[in-house]
Each structure stands twice: as C-alpha cells, then as structure tokens.
C-alpha cells in the first residue's frame, strides 16, 4: 500500500515539476515550488 | 497584452532558482523532522536490572517504528509483577515523565516493576504543528537541561498509512478513521493487523508472558474532560482502585474512581482486564496543553500548566478540575501519577501478600512540588 501511495506522490511531483518549468508567470511558479515541498517530504517518507 | 506580458517574469532560470530554494527548505525542515526520530536519552537508575525490546515478546513489531524499550526493575526476593505504561499518548507528557522518573529513581526490593516509558514510540516521532505544539520541552535538572519530545496522540502516518474512513477495532467497536492509529483504542490488538494493532498485541503478549499482576496505563486529559484526576478500573481492579483513592484522599490528594465501561472497547482498562489475568487500571491527570480552551501553546504551557483562559473557564464552572493562577505544573501532574502508583502498589500488596512488590525511591507529590521534577531526573550526560 505504501508503495502505491509513494507512486501516486511521485507522479504528482513530476506533474508539478513540469508545470514549474512550463509556467511563465512567476507567481504560479512560486506556487508550484511551494506545493513540491510537502510532496517531496512525503515521497521520501520524512514527514 | 503588452502589460500582461510585462507581469509574467517567469523563465526556466526562475524555475531553476526556485528549485534550488526548494532544496534548501527541504534540507532545513528534514533536519528538524528527522531529529524527532532520535530518542532523548533515559538514564536508568540503580534499580534497573535489564532493558529489552518489545519485539522480544512479539515479532509483530520487529523492525518497525512501534518497537520500544522496556525497563525491568527486579528485586532480590520473588514477588509480584507490576507494569507501568507511559507514553501511550505522547502529547500527555506527565505520563511518560512519571515512567521515566520511576526508571531513574526506583529500587525494587521484592517482586518487580516493568516500565515502558514510550509505549507508542512511533507517536513520539512527530508533532502536530497545526495545534501549535512545540517539538520539545525542557526540564531543568541539577546538572543541566533535559530535553523531551512532545509527540502526538497517534502513530506517525509515516509508519501507518492510510487511515480508513471508519475504523472497526479488534473488539468490534466502530470509531472515527483516525482512531486506527490510537494505541488506546486498539487493544487487545491483532498480530497481523495495522501497526498500532500489532503494537497493542505485543503489549498484551508482554502482560501474558510476564504474568503481570497489575498493569497501570498513565494518561493526561484536558481540564474540560469529565474523566480527569481519576483512576479508571476494570471491575476486577475496582476494590484496589477504590481503596487507593480513599488513602490518597486522606493524604490530601483529590482523586476519583470510575468503573471501566463494558461497552467501551479497545481501551487498556477494559481489554487488558478481559484478555489477560492482570488487574487493569488507567489514570488521568489534568493537562491544559491538550485542552480546546487554551491560549498560547508553547513549552511554558506544557511545563508550568498555567493558562489565563482556563482560569476564566474555571470561574464559569466549565471545568472538571479546579484551575487557579498557579495552573497545573508538570511537577503536580507527575507527582499525582507517582503517588497514586505507589499507593496502588501498597494496596495491591495488602490484597496479595504472596505476590507483593516492595520498592523504594519513588518520589511523592509533596516531594515533587517542593523539589521540582528536575531534582528527580538524572542530569544530562554528554
């Protein structure tokens, strides 16, 4: 179950990361960067 | 159109810059979060004869975040066995601190104590930042500051995920989904269930294998919670609890007794008593840091137990304990637990002279109020 959870989180990270580079508005890039933080913490099982 | 373009400012370079910033933030917060997984040291006193892991009683928790240390304090003479459990809910610090005080001070002459200071070890490894709780609190000792973790009520989601929408515990009671990570709703446990159920199973296995005569689960509760400053007793332990309560009242300590409800399943005072031969008891002290009426939530509130909003709530009769400007400091809460623990052991000894447990060195409430808790905790060692 945890592997599925981590897999879903990883996919989300890839989408948000892709959006970070594709987005031209700085404010939206900042939002994407902030969203990445908890996702990365969870995929690494830190928090 | 031109003004819209001017407002964009984003590029691959800003994305890369933000990614570096994310990396820096991750490094800082990871250091903090991972530090929560390092146990603050406990310094066993002269009475501790051995320390074992809970996983030695059940493979169900081996190599998991739920495995925890168990301290044995054994006398030279054979006698009974008393289990003391702290840290079932790590956001109830007086419970864990009372168990640690026994480990660092008590010497058993006859029989033995088994003490688990961090019963839900996993729940000590994270805090609840949305509640404003600090990750640690400090107790001053004669030789420096001891830092303790302020954890959460339930098992770390890193160790047990996901929560079901509704949790039906091993005793068949339906509860809110998050209660699946609450140790004190998971008894008697399940060897192959959720991690918290496996932890409960391991603790029940310990009670059975060590033939524990009396088991006491220490807790704290918010001042507006009706079951407070109370001993909750399984029906087989009711006589001991009632007699201990009367003795404590004679000594000036106000403490009630409640019979463990038969339809409240999954709790230690019910399931330990039903699933094993032990005399099952649970005790509650008043911790304003847990309450919904509290004001600023910080280390000072945890340690001093002072809160002006609770003083006002008491004036309006909203609380189940008296609450003055003096608050309910950690010395008082730990002292209540320790004095009640000693008295319960004394009463147990009167009822079971062949299985008595005799110990020295456990400080009483008046000593803790006079000397402070730090006087009974070992100074930190480098």
- Is the Cβ pair B30, A21 closer than 8 Å? no
Q: How confident is the model at residue B4 (pLDDT cuts 50, 70, 90)?
A: low
Q: How confident is the model at residue B161 (pLDDT cuts 50, 70, 90)?
A: confident
pLDDT at B129: 78
Residue of A nearest to B20 (CA): A33
| Fold topology of B47-376 | Aminopeptidase (3.40.630)
pLDDT at B363: 98
In this complex, the residue of B7, B11, B30 whose CB is nearest that of residue A46 is B30
- Is the Cβ pair A37, B158 closer than 8 Å? no
- Is the Cβ pair B26, A37 closer than 8 Å? yes
In this complex, the residue of B15, B25, B33 whose CB is nearest that of residue A29 is B15
Domain boundaries, chain B: 47-376
- Is the Cβ pair B33, A41 closer than 8 Å? yes
Averaged pLDDT, B39-53: 97
A28, pLDDT greater than 70: yes
B-chain CB neighbours of A44 within 8 Å are 30
Supply the range of the domain harboring residue A20.
2-43
Q: How confident is the model at residue B180 (pLDDT cuts 50, 70, 90)?
A: very high
* Residue range B212-239, pLDDT digits in tens: 999 999 999 999 999 999 999 999 999 9
The two tokens of residue B294 are 């509290």
Contacts of B366 (CB under 8 A, 6+ apart): B335
Residues 3-42 in A contacting B (C-alpha not used; CB under 8 Å): 5, 20-21, 23-26, 28-30, 32-33, 36-37, 40-41
How many domains does chain A fold into? 1
Contacts of B129 (CB under 8 A, 6+ apart): none
What is this structure's pTM?
Answer: 0.94
In this complex, the residue of B22, B34, B161 whose CB is nearest that of residue A5 is B161
Question: d(Cα B30, Cα B35) in Å, to the nearest integer?
Answer: 8
Residue of A nearest to B6 (CA): A25
B1, pLDDT greater than 50: no
In this complex, the residue of B7, B29, B158 whose CB is nearest that of residue A45 is B158
- Is the Cβ pair B34, A46 closer than 8 Å? yes
B113 dihedral zone (left: phi>0; alpha: psi -120 to 50; beta): beta
Question: d(Cα B199, Cα B260) in Å, to the nearest integer?
Answer: 22
B110, pLDDT greater than 70: yes
Q: How many CA atoms lie within 13 A of B28 on its CB side?
A: 7
The two tokens of residue B373 are 């808790």
B-chain CB neighbours of A41 within 8 Å are 26, 29-30, 33
Question: Tokens 């088994």, residue?
Answer: B114
* Residue range B128-142, pLDDT digits in tens: 878 999 999 999 999
Question: d(Cα B195, Cα B15) in Å, to the nearest integer?
Answer: 40
């Amino acid at each position: 179950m945890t592997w599925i959870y981590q897999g879903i989180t990883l996919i989300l990270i890839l989408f948000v990361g892709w959006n970070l580079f594709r987005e031209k508005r700085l404010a939206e890039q900042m939002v994407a960067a902030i969203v990445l933080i908890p996702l990365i913490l969870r995929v690494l099982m830190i928090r | 159109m031109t003004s819209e373009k001017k407002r964009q400012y984003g590029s691959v370079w800003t994305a890369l810059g933000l990614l570096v910033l994310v990396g820096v933030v991750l490094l800082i917060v990871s250091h903090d979060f991972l530090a929560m997984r390092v146990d603050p040291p406990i310094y066993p006193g002269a009475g501790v004869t051995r320390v074992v892991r809970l996983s030695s009683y059940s493979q169900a928790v081996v190599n998991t975040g739920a495995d925890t240390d168990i301290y044995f304090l054994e006398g030279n003479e054979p006698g009974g066995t008393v289990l003391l459990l702290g840290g079932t809910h790590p956001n109830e610090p007086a419970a864990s601190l009372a168990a640690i005080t026994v480990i660092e001070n008590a010497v058993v002459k006859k029989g033995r104590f088994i003490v688990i200071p961090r019963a839900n070890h996993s729940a000590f490894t994270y805090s609840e930042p949305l509640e404003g709780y600090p990750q640690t609190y400090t107790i001053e000792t004669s030789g420096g500051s001891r830092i303790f973790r302020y954890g959460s009520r339930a098992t770390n989601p890193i160790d047990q995920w996901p929560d079901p929408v509704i949790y039906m515990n091993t005793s068949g009671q339906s509860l809110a989904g998050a209660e699946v990570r609450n140790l004190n709703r998971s008894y008697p446990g399940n060897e192959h269930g959720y991690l918290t159920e496996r932890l409960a199973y391991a603790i029940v296995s310990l009670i059975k294998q060590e033939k524990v005569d009396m088991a006491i689960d220490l807790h704290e509760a918010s001042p507006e919670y009706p079951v407070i400053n109370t001993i909750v007793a399984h029906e087989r332990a009711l006589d001991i609890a009632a007699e201990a309560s009367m003795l404590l009242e004679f000594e000036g300590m106000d403490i009630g007794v409640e019979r463990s409800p038969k339809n409240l399943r999954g709790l230690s005072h019910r399931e330990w008593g039903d699933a094993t031969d032990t005399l099952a008891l649970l005790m509650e002290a008043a911790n304003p840091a847990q309450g919904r009426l509290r004001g600023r939530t910080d280390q000072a509130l945890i340690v001093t137990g002072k809160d002006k909003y609770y003083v006002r709530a008491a004036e309006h009769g909203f609380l189940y304990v008296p609450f003055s400007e003096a608050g309910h400091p950690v010395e008082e809460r730990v002292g209540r637990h320790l004095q009640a623990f000693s008295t319960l052991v004394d009463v147990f000894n009167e009822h079971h002279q062949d299985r008595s447990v005799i110990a020295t060195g456990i400080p009483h409430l008046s000593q803790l109020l006079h000397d402070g808790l730090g006087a009974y905790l070992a100074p930190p060692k480098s």
